[in-house]
């Protein structure tokens, strides 16, 4: 008779052979009843599947590597409303299809805070897409036909949470502005967007010179938007100076 653990794996159980063997050994040592063993098996399998699902969705979200909140120095910024950020971590804004603007100079942690919001959403079973605004627009601009563009737009319109990083760091043309307006309009009051930027809303037209849709773009994005301003010196510059002084 073949190994029953291998048979369980062949039937679709996600737990590794080693994890199954350890569970059986623990059951024998602790004299677990068959019902208790099955309950433990179900619990471990559920955790394994949830972990694999999270890993798959995290890869699709393209979050990249980043510092988690336990490594974030809340004492570094001169001004940052932590209570507002903690409230955003509840993800109530996603349930209400509201937007978030993380605003401040370069290097103050906007991207890190946005990535941690995205991670929390993934942990809650939501779909996420994270990318720089420049990368998203370049991706859409590469589409050579209307059908191809419509298909690619779904990459940015379907996730529960879309994070667009670094608005304002690179200038864009009017067509890029039209594409961003298209994204914001399609998600308006349906799905949430998080944007990081160093610019006030009134400065957004400088990113898209000559684009006629910027006022409407700002109006739609800002209608249901939580704004979190960060006043701080650049973390990267501080770290660089610290290393240079050693």
Summarize pLDDT for 231-245 with one digit per residue, the tens.
998 876 665 545 444
> Of the residues 43, 61, 79, which one is the last residue of a structural domain?
61
130: left (phi over 0), alpha (psi -120 to 50) or beta: beta
Mean pLDDT, residues 28-46 taken together: 81
Are 76 and 193 found together in one domain? yes
For residue 43, the enclosing domain spans: 4-61
> In the predicted model, is pLDDT for residue 218 greater than 50?
yes
Q: What is the pLDDT of residues 85-106, one digit of tens each?
A: 999 999 999 999 999 999 999 9
| Domain assignment of residue 246, yes or no | no
Are 170 and 93 found together in one domain? yes
> Of the residues 16, 39, 61, which one is the last residue of a structural domain?
61
pLDDT higher for 116 or 8? 116
**DSSP single-letter state for residue 78:** S
CA dihedral (60, 208, 107, 105) in degrees, to 10, reads -140
How many angstroms from the chain centroid is the CA of residue 124? 12
Mean pLDDT, the chain, whole residue set: 89
| Domain assignment of residue 245, yes or no | no
pTM score of the predicted model: 0.80
Are 98 and 122 found together in one domain? yes
> In the predicted model, is pLDDT for residue 37 greater than 50?
yes
> Of the residues 45, 61, 77, which one is the last residue of a structural domain?
61
| Domain assignment of residue 205, yes or no | yes
Are 176 and 100 found together in one domain? yes
pLDDT higher for 169 or 216? 216
Are 74 and 188 found together in one domain? yes
Number of independent structural domains in the chain: 2
Which of the residue ranges 32-46, 149-163, 192-206, 213-227 would you say has the lowest mean pLDDT?
Answer: 32-46
Contact criterion met (CB below 8 Å) for 164 and 136 = yes
């Amino acid at each position: 008779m073949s190994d029953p653990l291998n048979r369980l794996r062949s039937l679709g159980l996600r737990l590794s052979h080693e994890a199954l063997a350890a569970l059986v050994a623990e059951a024998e040592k602790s004299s677990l009843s068959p019902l208790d063993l099955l309950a433990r098996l179900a619990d471990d399998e559920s955790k394994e599947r949830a972990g694999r699902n999270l890993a798959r969705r995290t890869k699709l979200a393209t979050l990249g590597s980043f510092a988690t909140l336990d490594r974030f120095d809340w004492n570094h910024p001169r001004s940052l409303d932590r209570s507002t950020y903690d409230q955003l971590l509840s993800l109530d804004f996603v349930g209400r299809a509201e937007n978030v603007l993380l605003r401040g100079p370069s290097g103050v942690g906007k991207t890190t805070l946005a990535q941690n919001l995205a991670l929390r959403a993934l942990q809650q079973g939501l779909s996420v897409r994270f990318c720089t605004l420049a990368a998203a627009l370049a991706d859409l601009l590469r589409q050579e036909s209307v059908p191809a563009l419509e298909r690619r737009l779904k990459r940015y319109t379907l996730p529960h949470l879309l994070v667009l990083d670094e608005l304002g760091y690179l200038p864009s043309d009017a067509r890029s502005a039209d594409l961003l307006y298209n994204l914001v309009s399609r998600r308006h009051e349906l799905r949430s967007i998080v944007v990081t930027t160093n610019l006030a809303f009134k400065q957004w037209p400088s990113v898209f010179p000559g684009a006629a849709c910027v006022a409407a773009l700002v109006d739609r994005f800002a209608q249901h938007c939580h704004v979190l301003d960060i006043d701080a010196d650049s973390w990267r510059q501080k770290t660089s100076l610290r290393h240079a002084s050693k």
